[in-house]
A and B are shown apart, each in its own frame.
Chain A
Amino acid sequence: MNEQIELQASSLTDKFPEIVSLDTRTGYTGFLVMPENLITVAQTLRDEFGYDYLSSVTGVDYLPENKMEVVYHFYRTTGGGALVLKTQVDRENPVVPSLTPLYPGAEFQEREAWDLLGIRFANHPDLRRILTWEGFYGHPLRKDWKEPFFEEETKPFKSRWPEGHVYRAEDKNPFHDNVQYPPGFDPEQWSPETDELLYAGLKRVDKSDDFLTEQVVVNLGPQHPSTHGVFRMVVVLDGETVVDLKPIMGYLHRNHEKIGERNTFLQNMPFTDRLDYVCSMSNNFGYALAVEKLMGIQPPERAEYIRVMMAELTRFLNHIFSIGFLLNDLGAFFTPMLYALEERELILDVFEAVSGSRMMCNYFRFGGVARDIPDEVMEKIRKLVLERLPRKLDEMDYFITNNEIVRGRCEGVGVLTAERAIALSASGPVLRASGVAYDVRRADPYSIYDRFEFDIPVRYNGDIYDRYLLRLDEMRQSLRILQQVMRDIPEGPIMSGKPQYQVRVPAGESYGRVEGPKGELGFYVVSNGKPNPWRYHVRAPTFINLTSLAEMCRGQKIADVVTILGSIDIVLGEVDR
């Protein structure tokens, strides 16, 4: 592994001896490049070095050095580790060339960096705020930005102990005062211009036929039963056909990352549960990996097996849940959904017994898991994995797969080709249903996934039906892994070292990524040796998968937009963070 990185390093610096330099800060890896050379280097990376997949774009505010840094994580879709490229700009006027023309998947991530950190991306096609509202004052992830009723830079707050005088958060933080305005701003006089901008930014078609029809802009959502939460899609319609579409998110935004930077490392763990609240165990996994990488610790054997077991059970419940919802979107209202929920319920019982909570599990710790699995729960898991779940999966396959309505509505709808899926940084089932066999568990193995025998299912049509079939396949493979886990799980400790409430994390950066049920879930953590992370960034798979939504929907019927969205399988807790 190290050899491979060395090889890249020498060839990239050989290729650009003047403009690319190694990042030599302690605990950091990757290459530094000046912003003016970024496009050239990225182009070479993509076309000559084969780094065709831009996984993550992260902005970091280095306030003490008065610098803004943008970190890019490139991967090859044929597998292997990351190539990390960084560019630094002045904090006062940060302008970085946009990589969106080269890697269209950067679009939302660059908008996010603009929104939260105020880094401008030159030549970006649509640089508007994405997570906060248009009238928001300031860029909240900047280190000198303070929220209204700011208490302290980092937790734990001194006001809690030993002189803890209690107050109600609501008394201090009434809702109407919970907003900061720019100087001289009058909310009564303000009218949002961005909606007009947004509508103007949508594509129209030139009509040359005889019919005098108008193209209509329709807002689907934010409150719409099919959007799986508060999510809005602005659609331009020509008759019933979608001409263009733009997703608008951020209605559930709570600045997870700022909260994360105020928290200590351990305090973040329960907050990761609330990202994708359907699969909290996978979120825990990704975050634990990122921090463990920084700390340089390894969980003991049994803990590794338990982690894999939990992650695969999560994948199973997420996929069965998402298939149920897809059927809901197709109009099979709640009957298949509830059959799926039954199985999910049984798995949640397992989660509750081991972690104490059905959905907000908070089960992983740095260097292990919180507690061992009791014997009777183990027995239950065995029964589920060996008997019930395979049977129920077959039943689902039997009554959905060849249903004429399902096939009629799903086949050939919402197609995403392999090239576009890679370019748009799609991940997880969306990517694999488009014919790219890329799964982090195999491409860049983490934990103990290299020990198990399983296949990476792949489908080639890239439509909704293939995404459905792929999820079925993946559930089968998850059961296969689970059966091996049940066979091989050893006895032993579940924590390496003593459980600590304040962990020592050496200075440096790390990027931990797992193959979550919805796609590649990454956590980028920067530590400066203090108890709190300096930067904490989440590469949310569904947020980035939404970049390809417009592409899938163009030319389809409006009724299919709902199903296409359902086939991406989004959770707004993660999209909006």
Chain B
Amino acid sequence: MITGSGILRGLWTTFRHFIKTYLEDLRSGKKRYFTKEGIELRRSPDVEGIFTIQYPEEKLPVPEEFRYIPFLVYDEGENGEKEIRCTSCGICAKVCPPQCIWIVRTNDPVTGKPIPQPKEFYIDVDICMNCGFCAEFCPFDAIKMDHDYEIASYDRFKEHIFDLERLSKPASYYAQIRPTNFAREEAARAEKEAQKAAARKVNP
């Protein structure tokens, strides 16, 4: 080895990386930046040259399993009313590692017995660690992890405890962000319904 050749190799590699960006620009033309295609190109295993995504003008699409702060799923009734899926069984509050979920169960005002519906539901998003356990273990598919990661706000005292209102999102939104999960769960649910109906037919 000639002394200095190691340093020259380093410089050559850096130069090659530098030049590649421009070569790629010439090759792919305008579609390389600020287009969906370009973003996909710059994060694929074949990428050469520049690697960065210019947030917020460009945004990386998140994968389906991406998890951020949870939300509560509601089905839209015939007259547009919200039928929240949560039954306030409390499994999410029990499994939550940082214990950031608070639920108040509804009690029947006459008998005092619990009704399967939450009266209040809070998540302290300052504490939530986005582990996804609540969504994973919910038996009613009522709580799911969101994709919306831009939740910065000006007032952390007023806005960082999400209540029932803020947490509720329609099932159509869920279907849109997690299409395969949604389809799988709907299929499972339909099958269960069918089984129930069959059982009812056998012994009414």
Query: Are A345 and B7 within 8 A (Cβ)?
Result: no
B103 surroundings in chain A (CB, below 8 A): 160-162, 164
Q: Are A165 and B104 in contact (CB under 8 A)?
A: yes
Instruction: Mark B95-137 against chain A: 1 for CB-CB distance below 8 A, else 0.
Output: 1110101111100000000100000101010110111110011
A406 to B102, CA, bound (A): 55
The complex places the Cα of A165 from the Cα of B91 at a distance, in Å, of 17
Find out whether the CB atom of B63 lies under 8 angstroms from the CB atom of A162: no
A271 near B97 (CB under 8 angstroms)?
Answer: yes
A266 to B95, CA, bound (A): 8
Q: Mark A532-559, 1 if CB is under 8 A from B, else 0.
A: 0000000000000000000000000000
Which residues does chain A contribute within 8 Å of B102, judged by CB atoms?
159-161, 164-166
Cβ-defined contact, B161 with A370, below 8 A: no
Residue of B nearest to A500 (CB): B137
Q: Is B27 close to A, CB under 8 A?
A: no
Docked Cα-Cα span, A568 to B17, in Å, equals 29
Residues of A close to B43: CB separation below 8 A = 345-346, 349
Whether A270 contacts B129 in the complex (CB less than 8 A), given A156-B99, A157-B99, A161-B103, comes out as: yes
Residues of A near B83 (CB, < 8 A) are none
Complex CA gap A403/B1 in Å reads 11
As a 0/1 sequence over residues 1 to 35 of chain B, the CB contacts with chain A under 8 angstroms (1 = contact) are 10111110110111001000000000000000000
| Distance between Cα atoms of A266 and B91 in the complex (Å) | 13
Q: Cβ of B161 and Cβ of A168 under 8 Å apart? A: yes
Contact A166 B137 (CB under 8 A): no
Report the separation of the CA atoms of residues A508 and B85 in the bound assembly, to the nearest whole angstrom: 40
Q: Is the CB of A398 within 8 A of B93?
A: no
Let me know if B45 and A383 touch, CB within 8 A: yes
Whether, in the assembled complex, B145 has its beta carbon less than 8 Å from a beta carbon of chain A, the answer is yes
B14: A residues at CB distance < 8 A: 335, 399
The answer to whether A360 has its CB under 8 Å from any CB of chain B is yes
Residues of A within 8 A of B65 (CB): 352-356, 371
Q: Indicate whether A163 reaches chain B with its CB closer than 8 angstroms.
A: yes
Neighbouring A residues of B7 by C-beta, 8 Å:
403-405
- Dominant SS among interface residues on chain A: helix
Q: Is A190 an interface residue (CB 8 A)?
A: no
A355 partner residues in chain B, CB cutoff 8 A: 65
Selected contact of B137 from candidates A170, A268, A356, A501, CB within 8 Å: A501
B40-62 interface (Cβ within 8 A of A): 43, 45-47, 51, 62
A342 at the interface (CB under 8 A from B): yes
Q: Residues of A contacting B5 with CB < 8 Å?
A: 402
Are A270 and B97 within 8 A (Cβ)?
A: yes
> Which residues in A have some Cβ–Cβ distance to B below 8 Å?
155-157, 159-166, 168-170, 263-264, 266-271, 332, 335, 339, 342, 345-346, 349, 352-357, 360, 362, 370-371, 380, 383-384, 387-388, 395, 398-400, 402-407, 499, 501-502
18 extra A-B contacts, CB within 8 A, seeds A161-B103, A164-B103: A164-B93, A164-B102, A164-B122, A168-B157, A168-B161, A169-B126, A267-B95, A270-B97, A345-B51, A352-B65, A353-B63, A353-B64, A356-B132, A357-B67, A362-B133, A398-B13, A399-B12, A403-B7
The 7 closest A-B pairs by CB, nearest first: A164-B102, A161-B90, A162-B105, A270-B131, A356-B67, A267-B97, A403-B6
